[in-house]
């Protein structure tokens, strides 16, 4: 999988968030995006995900030489971000099965392996809204990184994670060698674990 950013720029009113980003992401590989708080990292991830459109420039997803239209990204893409909510009224078991209807898990990931992998075994009957913030974050990471999605976008993925949770994140990341992963972070070493290339959004300010 490849993602090409061609002269991507984003403006809110008269303020340019970032300007003229030319970058190619090629998977499987891990990339980082760093920058100041409020500097545009989340906006860039949303642009890459097709959630928001660039003010200037364009982006392309290419899979096996074929361009994927942004309207058809869902089967290929997963995203974990603070603004992405979980269905609070479902139990964890129900959410696992609900997700499977839309996005398949790796072939060796059954229900038992899934909850064990995110250290939520014996929590399957809990309602999502009753989980702690750290448990919800582990659940989000599991749904993304244990899926078959070729591209995973992570926005400050260690948010709400304690030391044990950050170690779990690293373990999940280490097992996701088949994916193109892009991580937005405030230079957090745990979050940028195994990133081979890091893009500093501060380099694209005007």
Q: How far is CA 28 from CA 36, 58, 206, in A?
A: 27, 22, 32
CB of 77 within 8 A of CB of 151?
yes
Question: How far lies 70's CA from each of 17, 48, 83, 123, 154, in Å?
Answer: 22, 10, 20, 36, 18
Q: Which of 153, 117, 164 is nearest to 30 (CA)?
A: 153
Residue 167: which H helix or E strand, with range?
A: helix 163-174
Distance CA 189, CA 155 (A): 14
* pLDDT > 90: percent of the chain: 83
Q: 18-60 pLDDT, tens per residue?
A: 999 999 999 999 999 998 888 899 999 999 999 999 999 999 9
Tell me how far apart the alpha carbons of residues 107 and 75 are, in angstroms, rounded to a whole number: 15
Domain 2-204 has CATH 3.40.50.300: yes
| Average pLDDT along the chain | 93
The C-alpha atoms of residue 120 and residue 57 are separated, in whole angstroms, by 42
């Amino acid at each position: 999988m490849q993602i090409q950013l061609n002269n991507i720029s984003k403006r809110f009113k008269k303020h340019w968030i970032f300007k003229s980003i030319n970058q190619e992401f090629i998977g499987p590989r891990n990339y980082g995006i760093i920058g100041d708080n409020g500097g545009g990292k989340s906006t860039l991830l949303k642009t890459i995900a097709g959630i928001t459109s660039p003010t200037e420039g364009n982006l392309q997803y290419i899979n096996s030489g074929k361009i994927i239209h942004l309207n058809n990204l869902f089967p290929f893409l997963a995203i974990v971000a603070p603004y992405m909510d979980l269905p609070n009224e479902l139990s964890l078991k129900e959410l696992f099965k609900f997700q499977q209807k839309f996005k398949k898990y790796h072939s060796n990931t059954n229900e038992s392996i899934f909850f064990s992998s995110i250290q939520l075994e014996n929590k399957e009957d809990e309602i999502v809204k009753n989980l702690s913030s750290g448990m919800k974050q582990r659940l989000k990471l599991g749904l993304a990184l244990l899926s078959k999605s070729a591209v995973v976008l992570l926005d400050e993925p260690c948010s709400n994670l304690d030391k044990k949770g950050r170690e779990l994140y690293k373990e999940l990341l280490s097992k996701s060698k088949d994916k193109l992963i892009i991580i937005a972070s405030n230079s957090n070493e745990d979050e940028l674990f195994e990133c081979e290339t890091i893009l500093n959004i501060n380099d694209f300010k005007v």
